[in-house]
């Protein structure tokens, strides 16, 4: 069978490309020259399958879409607190190139506006790094997110640097407040080079998928940054990523995102998908008109709005039966399924706590064969439930051949070593010898 997804994406490109309003960015001469008719979209799953439509191989400079990734590198290098001391996380509601700092602290409001992005750039690597060393770390870091070696478009770099009056003003202001150290001109130089790194929609989608995948690059399998860093980055993208249209984007598209003045848009839906879109003409906020349209369409069609949320909890308990084993014991067999997080585990705890027939039971079997993952919180909750059932005098058995309960907390011995080694164990594979009561 030929997958219908590329056909669907082509439909999206055609439907969103019928007209081409807006204007290319003109404050960077090289961007004003971009072919305005190009349009492309790409989806990357978190296991690295990539679907494209339109001019998927068209290259363009990454511009502001570099900001969340460089912020991620600064966080990875110095930790959240040290970075927060220099750059805040509050939406500014102002244009991306506004000369504004938080009153009192002098910090830039967030890392998605230029003041914050210049600061994040200056924070990458050790404090002693030269401009070249810092840029090397940025280029290698972004390449790790993309899963291939990225390069700089020298003509975009020269073009932007020769007209970087506003960013120079911002960097000088940051230096005067000691938010950045060293030579402001060098920070502008490094940041401008960062913005001139060339990508395609495919790169954007895969970089986004790395964020959606908790920091592990889907194609190379490399952990690029930690989950904690990813959470911080996605939060800031959600609240500040779309320039001064963040609220509109949140309510209509609802995907953590970042756009750039060359016409790229990147969206990362945690646990699901990375999106890259491109078309050079921009709206009044500085985001690609047709790129935004395509993202909105994808979100609507595929139910990607983050606030639509998953609903796993109702189905966490697959079956809850009372069975009598060959030895005459009565056991409660509680079979769980899916992904176990707080709400699913709460449902299980509630069911176990409310058993009216507890005194007639000899044991409880927690059957995890259809559970594919248990997060830290759910694991603690389930383990506490097992402990309390034992304190109530019940025999407790965990059927967990894949050790889903053991992937996080290595301080506990594997459930199958000791806990299920009891008289029910031989029959647990199917419960065939058990009868219903
Ligand atoms: N290099 C651009 C600037 O600093 C990036 C702006 C953007 O893409 O929003 O002006």
What DSSP state is assigned to residue 219?
T
Question: Does residue 426 register a pLDDT over 80?
Answer: no
The pLDDT value recorded for residue 311 is 64
Greater pLDDT, 106 or 407 = 106
Q: Where in the chain is the domain with CATH 3.30.750.24?
A: 317-436
Phi, psi of 400 (to 5 degrees): -145, 65
Give every CB contact of residue 385 below 8 A, 6+ residues apart in sequence: 348, 349, 352
Tokens found for residue 432: 């065939």
Give every CB contact of residue 359 below 8 A, 6+ residues apart in sequence: none
Say yes or no: CB of residue 261 within 6 Å of ligand 1: yes
CA of 97 to the centre of ligand 1 (A): 8
The pLDDT value recorded for residue 315 is 84
What's the rounded Cα separation, in Å, for the pair 341 and 312? Answer: 9
- Ligand 1 atom at minimum distance from 96 CA: 9
- Mean of per-residue pLDDT scores for the chain: 89
- pLDDT tens-digit series, residues 21-47: 999 988 888 888 889 999 999 999 999
- pLDDT tens-digit series, residues 351-379: 999 877 777 888 898 999 999 899 989 99
Say yes or no: CB of residue 97 within 6 Å of ligand 1: yes
The pLDDT value recorded for residue 312 is 56
Report which listed range, 141-155, 294-308, 324-338, 366-380, is most confident.
141-155
Percentage of the chain lying above the pLDDT 90 cut: 70
Catalytic residues: 64, 67, 191, 243, 261
Region 333-337 average pLDDT:
93
CA of 6 to the centre of ligand 1 (A): 31
Question: Does residue 68 register a pLDDT over 50?
Answer: yes
The pLDDT value recorded for residue 329 is 82
Say yes or no: CB of residue 52 within 6 Å of ligand 1: no
Among 130, 240, 117, 128, which Cα is nearest to 170's?
Answer: 117
- pLDDT tens-digit series, residues 266-299: 999 999 999 999 999 999 988 999 999 999 999 9
The pLDDT value recorded for residue 161 is 96
- Ligand 1 atom at minimum distance from 27 CA: 10
* CA angle in degrees (0–180, nearest 5) for 19-24-25: 155
Say yes or no: CB of residue 63 within 6 Å of ligand 1: yes
Tokens found for residue 300: 């609507």
Tokens found for residue 16: 């969103």
Say yes or no: CB of residue 287 within 6 Å of ligand 1: no
CA of 261 to the centre of ligand 1 (A): 6
Contact 30, 163 (CB under 8 A): no
What pLDDT band is residue 385 in, cutting at 50, 70 and 90?
A: very high
Question: Does residue 20 register a pLDDT over 80?
Answer: yes
Tokens found for residue 179: 């938010």
- pLDDT tens-digit series, residues 94-148: 777 777 788 888 899 999 999 999 999 999 999 899 999 999 999 999 999 999 9
List, in sequence order, the alpha helices (H) in 220-325. 227-240, 246-252, 289-302
Q: Where in the chain is the domain with CATH 3.40.710.10?
A: 5-302
Homologous superfamily of 317-436 in CATH? Answer: STAS domain (3.30.750.24)
The pLDDT value recorded for residue 384 is 94
The pLDDT value recorded for residue 407 is 46
The pLDDT value recorded for residue 358 is 75
Q: Tell me which of 25, 195, 278 to substitute to probe ligand 1's pocket, judged by most ligand atoms within 8 Å of the beta carbon.
A: 195
The pLDDT value recorded for residue 324 is 85
CA of 66 to the centre of ligand 1 (A): 9
Window from 53-57, 68-72, 248-252 with minimum mean pLDDT? 248-252
Class of domain 5-302: alpha beta
Tokens found for residue 14: 């055609």
Question: Does residue 410 register a pLDDT over 50?
Answer: no
What's the rounded Cα separation, in Å, for the pair 381 and 378? Answer: 5
């Amino acid at each position: 069978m030929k997958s219908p997804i590329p056909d669907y994406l082509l439909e999206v490109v055609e439907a969103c490309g019928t007209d081409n309003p807006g204007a290319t960015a003109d404050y960077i001469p090289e961007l004003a020259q971009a072919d305005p008719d190009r349009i492309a979209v790409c989806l990357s799953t978190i296991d690295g399958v990539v679907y494209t439509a339109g001019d998927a191989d068209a290259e363009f400079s990454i511009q502001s879409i570099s900001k969340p990734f460089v912020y991620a590198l600064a966080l990875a290098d110095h930790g959240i607190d040290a970075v927060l001391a220099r750059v805040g996380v509050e939406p500014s509601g102002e244009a991306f190139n506004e000369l504004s700092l938080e009153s009192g602290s002098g910090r830039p409001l967030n890392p998605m506006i230029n003041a914050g992005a210049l600061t994040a750039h200056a924070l990458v690597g050790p404090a002693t790094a030269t401009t070249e060393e810092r840029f090397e770390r940025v280029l290698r870091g972004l390449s790790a997110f993309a899963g291939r070696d990225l390069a700089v478009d020298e003509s975009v770099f020269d073009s932007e640097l020769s007209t970087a009056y506003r960013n120079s003003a911002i960097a000088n202001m940051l230096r005067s407040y000691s938010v950045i150290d060293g030579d402001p001109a060098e920070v502008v130089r490094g940041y401008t080079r960062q913005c001139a790194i060339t990508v395609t929609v495919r790169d954007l989608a895969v970089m986004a998928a790395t964020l959606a995948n908790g920091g592990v690059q889907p194609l190379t399998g490399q952990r690029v940054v930690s989950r904690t860093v990813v959470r911080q980055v996605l939060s800031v993208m959600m609240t500040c990523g779309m320039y001064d249209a963040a609220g509109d984007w949140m309510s209509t598209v609802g995907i953590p995102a970042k756009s750039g003045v060359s016409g790229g848009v990147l969206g990362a839906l945690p646990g699901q998908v990375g999106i890259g879109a491109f078309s050079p003409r921009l709206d009044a906020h500085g985001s690609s008109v047709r790129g935004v349209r395509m993202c909105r369409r994808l979100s609507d069609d595929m139910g990607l709005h983050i606030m639509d949320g998953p609903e796993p909890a109702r189905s966490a308990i697959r079956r809850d039966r009372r069975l009598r084993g060959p030895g005459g014991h009565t056991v409660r067999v509680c079979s769980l399924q899916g992904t176990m997080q707080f709400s699913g585990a709460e449902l299980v705890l509630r069911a176990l706590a409310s058993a009216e027939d507890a005194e007639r039971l000899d044991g409880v079997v927690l059957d995890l064969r259809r559970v594919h993952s248990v997060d830290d919180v759910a694991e603690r909750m389930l383990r506490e439930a097992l402990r309390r059932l034992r304190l109530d005098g019940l025999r407790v058995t965990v059927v967990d051949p894949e050790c889903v309960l053991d992937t996080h907390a290595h301080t506990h011995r594997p459930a199958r070593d000791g806990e299920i080694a009891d008289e029910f164990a031989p029959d647990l594979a199917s419960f065939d010898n058990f009868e219903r009561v």
